[in-house]
Structure 1
């Protein structure tokens, strides 16, 4: 890692977490975390299901998933620190070393790559003097090589804290990272009027709305072209049963004011039922074999 404050990686790639990441939270910070965590946990039938947003909550305070953050999540959710660490090291949005104020992800997957993504990566990496998952010495920008930014219709695409910057070039991306490092407000191609900081975005991902969800354009013209073409030609989707096109009177109606027509609610599986005890042993193939009197 570049800089003295942004983690140490061994040649084998194992991260050495700084000792200060394990220092206890200040009393007021810990009280605020518990208050926020209670709101998050209350949304889930099983509190362990709140682990993902709680890890984002920790990042909104510390800027990454610290050792003390791991302990906090484990204590609140009645999990082991190993269970929490296993999740925190699985998903790339969780950082186990200090992250920059802005994460800039350059897509180098197939379409973006051939449209210039590889060149953007090479030039911006050289421009900043850092590689993948490394942070500038000023702590402003962490650079990532991304497999897909989910916006192929605007390739090559760059994201800053998961806000879209479409149809990029090496020069426009270098200007983007320079502006971010200079503390300027940077407006993405779509979405809110400016890119929020990593900590601010982490709080949103934890489930605390910032009021910017409906600000700016959500989908650009390229994304809507297929829908426009379907409308112009009168195309509709089949009903999924006979293969015939569903007419208006065949379309399912909304079941409540919370569920749109043709949609269904997201429900918890039986493994996450509200009355399931935390220590309940999940059913396994071996349990079923025992019931049937069979050997495993």
Structure 2
């Protein structure tokens, strides 16, 4: 049986835990801060949070798995979000998603083998006038067709 990876929570996170320890909604806020630090919630960090907050690990995982925002796996260097809101969906977001899956060789909510890209669908980016669109990190690319995607992805591929 593999041994459990150990992790030491950073001082800034421990201070944040102390600040939120007795407040309502503390677990969600602490998980947000943990994901902000690591980019996801490593299992070893979840175990340490459960110990530190004196809550069952199952409760920590219950929150992590209930909210789609929290990630259990390290995301790729570049996170591609395909807007699947109504306007984008009507104007072809499904085609954009399918083409991203083909070009990346991975499915929705997955990361490429080289850890370069993660692909996800999101509800609405709030740029309906640019439908259909994707974001790569903080960059928004709108009024797209599937033919536009290879050039966009090429900008983010590591040399």
Task: Tell me how far 1:95 sits from its aligned partner.
Answer: 1.4
Q: CA RMSD in A?
A: 2.6
Q: Does 1:24 align with 2:6?
A: yes
Unmatched 5+ residue regions in structure 2? none
| 1:128 counterpart = 2:101 | no
Partner of 2:77: 101
Post-superposition shift, 1:107? 1.3
TM-score (norm 1): 0.47
On the 8 A contact 1:40/1:53 being kept in 2, the answer is no
* 1:159 equivalent in structure 2: 135
CA change 1:180–1:54 in 2 (3 A) is farther
> Could you state the TM-score of these two structures normalised by the residue count of structure 2?
0.80
**Helix, strand or coil for the counterpart of 2:25?**
helix
Distance 1:173 1:48 in 2: 44
Find 1:148's aligned residue among 118, 121, 124.
Answer: 124
Structure 1: 5+ residue stretches without partners: 1-18, 184-296
Question: How much does 1:121 deviate?
Answer: 1.3
Deviations 1:121-157 (A, max 9, x none): 1212111111111111110111112232233233222
In structure 2, distance between residues paired with 1:153 and 1:40:
39
The answer on whether the counterparts of 1:41 and 1:47 sit within 8 Å (CA) in structure 2 is no
The structure carrying a bigger strand percent of its residues is: 2
Matched, 1:82 2:58: yes
2:34 alignment partner in structure 1: 58
Runs (4 or more) in structure 1 with deviation over 6 Å come to: none
Q: Go from structure 1 to structure 2 and tell me whether the alpha carbon gap of 1:171 and 1:76 turns closer, same or farther (over 3 Å shift).
A: farther
Structure 1 position 102, deviation (Å)? 2.2
Q: Which has the higher contact order (CA 8 A, sep 6+)?
A: 2
Count of residue pairs the alignment pairs up: 157
Higher helix content, 1 or 2: 2
**Following superposition of structure 1 onto structure 2, how do residues 184-195 of structure 1 map, counting pairs within 5 Å?**
none
1:194-205 alignment runs, 5 A limit:
none
1:91 counterpart = 2:67:
yes
Give the whole-Å Cα distance in 2 for the aligned partners of 1:142 and 1:96: 13
